[in-house]
Structure 1
Amino acid sequence: MSRPLGYLSVVLSFCCVLGVSLVDRFGIDGTVAGFGLGYLLGEGLSVLAIVFAAYGCYRILLAAFDRRTPDKRRRHDARNILRLTVGIAGIVSVLGVVTQQWVGVLFSLGVVGFAVTFALQQPLFSLIGWLYIMVKRPYQVGDRVAIEDSKGDVVEVSFLVTTLWEINGGLVSSNQPSGRIVTLPNSVVLSSHVMNYTREEFPFVWNELTVQVAYETDLDYATDLMAGIADDYIGDEMAARIGRYRERLSETPVELEVQDRPTVNIVQQESWVEFRLRYLVHPRRGQRVRNELYKRILDAFNDEPDRVKFPVSRNR
């Protein structure tokens, strides 16, 4: 629909230009508020020609980019950039036609822009933040991020604000959607920490699942059993992702030992021992994977009551 609408706008623009030519050729008698009727009609048709041409170019370029780019994130960014570019060009063109002083219009815009800098600092900072987001890519549409006290999935990045579908918040937990919409000014990326859980280059995070057992547990047996259950469930999938993780590490000066299968760490507490299963997972599958692993591990532990014991209430 965008492309036909764009072509229609371009045709209407040419019709307006033709109308201006006809008005100039034949002339129209009469005045309105001291201005010649022919002059006002010509200026109005010129403005309409610019508006239709700008809108038509925007629609045609957007349709062409959408057709060649299946990625929704790229289309979203292109839409914002085209809207800003065509909008500025259209406004300057309209002012130039109306005033017939192109140099004066550009100079006036510079003076007005200087004044607006002081009057509208926060919106200006948000616009600069948008430019930073477009260039440096701390996040983009579709990413799961945490910014200041807000966490959620990015659904829109406009010129001034970023919109999130909230995760967690004060209503739910365990990385579940709350149903609320959070709007943040883009300026926060210039002064706050931004945590991206699903960055395009590596959209995975490390998770831990903790199970508490008694000191009487056969620790070697329990850790092997726990690691084996996790390996059967997500081991192969995790190993494939670790390859990408190591590639990213190789591009940095950081040296880390990375296991390509799930591992179990043991932490001693005052009245029990904690097994902490560490594994790699996509953030949006984190809770489902945790629930399934927890169920399988508890079932396996309960099948071996002589070798795996759970802590009971005791005096400290």
Structure 2
Amino acid sequence: MNRHLGSVSLLVALGFGVTAGIVRRFDVAVVSGEVGGVPATSLLAQALLIAAVGFAAFGGYALVARVLLTRTADKRRRHDLKNVVRLTFIVLGTVGVLSVLTRQYVGVLFSLGIVGFAVTFALQQPLFSLIGWLYIMIKRPYGVGDRVAIEGSKGDVVEVDFLVTTLWEINGELVSSNQPSGRVITLPNSVVLSSHVYNYSYRSFPHVWNELSIQVAYETDLEFARALMIEEATDYLGEDMQRAVELYRKRLAKTPVELEVRDGPSVNVVQEESWVDLRLRYLVHPRTSQRVRNDLYERILERMNDNPDRVGFPVSRNR
């Protein structure tokens, strides 16, 4: 936000306020006549005050947002702070405008109660979305930069506004294998109040468990094949997975859940009708999952092809 724009807005607000005070204090006859039984000069003063409140709210938002954003390095926190500051100054500006109006029209308070009820009834969904935004800010089910799945939509969160959340779509109808489709998904924030939210890159543990499946023949030396897969995965993932496992264990230790967590990659054996399925299990960051899967598959397949006497592949067409 431009600091000079904020300063200019505050100066303009000051000018409007001073002008309104002069018009009201000295009853300057800039315009004559009445509007609805109210002197036109009084209405002019109110209009000037409303303009002053509007410019003051915008200028204050511009300056405060700039100060807070420049002192916050995390882009997720900057995004959230910007929305909170904007909402705060919108509320302050609205209260200021209503304060100006109620000085002249006492009945506006009663009218606001009736209008407020009607607006609340007519705008239920936007209000639910605003409540959903407050829930997202407080409970933090996801934030900007997270990869999530909500109501059948999956993508990376690029913006969380007062009413909607914007995602860059992953998978969808156009592509697969956790690849971006190029489409943008807009979801009302109210969905977090009634739907499951899957966060693949939660801030306290930005990793997911992945599986790579290799189908081999029954004649395969399973012990050799399993050791080969674990060796290649351990060599490729290295210390990154070890650090992720330690973080995973610390997170589990804070809960009553007890799970067996191995130090490195593991292989599960699943017997199928015409082959044996070897499923390599490992921890990976969700945004690199497809690249890691591809690299591991190539490395493992190359090693297996180098040992045809110990690893066989199914030849049935029923695969």
Q: TM-score, normalised to structure 1's length? A: 0.94
Taking structure 1 as reference, are residues 266 and 75 closer, same or farther at Cα in structure 2, changes over 3 Å only?
same
Distance in 2 (alpha carbons) for counterparts of 1:24 and 1:313? 93
Task: Give 1:17-32 correspondences, 5 Å limit.
Answer: 17-29=17-29, 30-32=31-33
Which of 177, 181, 194 pairs up with 1:178? 181
Query: Contact between 1:148 and 1:192, CA under 8 Å: does it hold in 2?
Result: yes
Partner in structure 2 of residue 300 of structure 1? 303
Distance in 2 (alpha carbons) for counterparts of 1:101 and 1:36? 11
Partner in structure 1 of residue 49 of structure 2? 46
Query: Contact between 2:33 and 2:39, CA under 8 Å: does it hold in 1?
Result: yes
Query: Contact between 1:209 and 1:277, CA under 8 Å: does it hold in 2?
Result: yes
Query: Contact between 2:22 and 2:28, CA under 8 Å: does it hold in 1?
Result: no
Instruction: Confirm whether residue 85 of structure 1 aligns to residue 91 of structure 2.
Output: no
Q: CA deviation at 1:86?
A: 1.0
* 1:186-230 deviations in Å (ceiling 9; x for gaps): 111111111000111111000000000111111111110110000
Partner in structure 2 of residue 250 of structure 1? 253
| Percent identical residues | 63
Q: Once superposed, what is the RMSD of the aligned Cα atoms?
A: 2.0
Task: Give 1:1-316 correspondences, 5 Å limit.
Answer: 1-29=1-29, 30-34=31-35, 35-100=38-103, 105=108, 108-313=111-316
Length, aligned pairs only: 316
Uncovered stretches (5+) of structure 2, i.e. residues with no partner: none
2:220 match: secondary structure: coil
Distance in 1 (alpha carbons) for counterparts of 2:318 and 2:205? 47
2:314 match: secondary structure: coil
Distance in 2 (alpha carbons) for counterparts of 1:2 and 1:264? 56
Q: Which piece of structure 1 moves more, 118-127 or 270-279?
A: 118-127
* 1:226-274 deviations in Å (ceiling 9; x for gaps): 1000000003110011111111111111111111211111111111111
2:8 match: secondary structure: helix
Distance in 2 (alpha carbons) for counterparts of 1:191 and 1:147? 10
Query: Contact between 1:165 and 1:181, CA under 8 Å: does it hold in 2?
Result: yes
Taking structure 1 as reference, are residues 296 and 315 closer, same or farther at Cα in structure 2, changes over 3 Å only?
closer
Q: CA deviation at 1:155?
A: 1.0
2:69 match: secondary structure: helix
Taking structure 1 as reference, are residues 254 and 107 closer, same or farther at Cα in structure 2, changes over 3 Å only?
farther
Q: CA deviation at 1:132?
A: 1.0
Taking structure 1 as reference, are residues 203 and 56 closer, same or farther at Cα in structure 2, changes over 3 Å only?
same
Query: Contact between 1:235 and 1:262, CA under 8 Å: does it hold in 2?
Result: no
Q: TM-score, normalised to structure 2's length? A: 0.93
Distance in 2 (alpha carbons) for counterparts of 1:230 and 1:104? 74
Amino acid at match of 2:242: A
Amino acid at match of 2:239: D
Q: Which piece of structure 1 moves more, 118-127 or 304-313?
A: 118-127
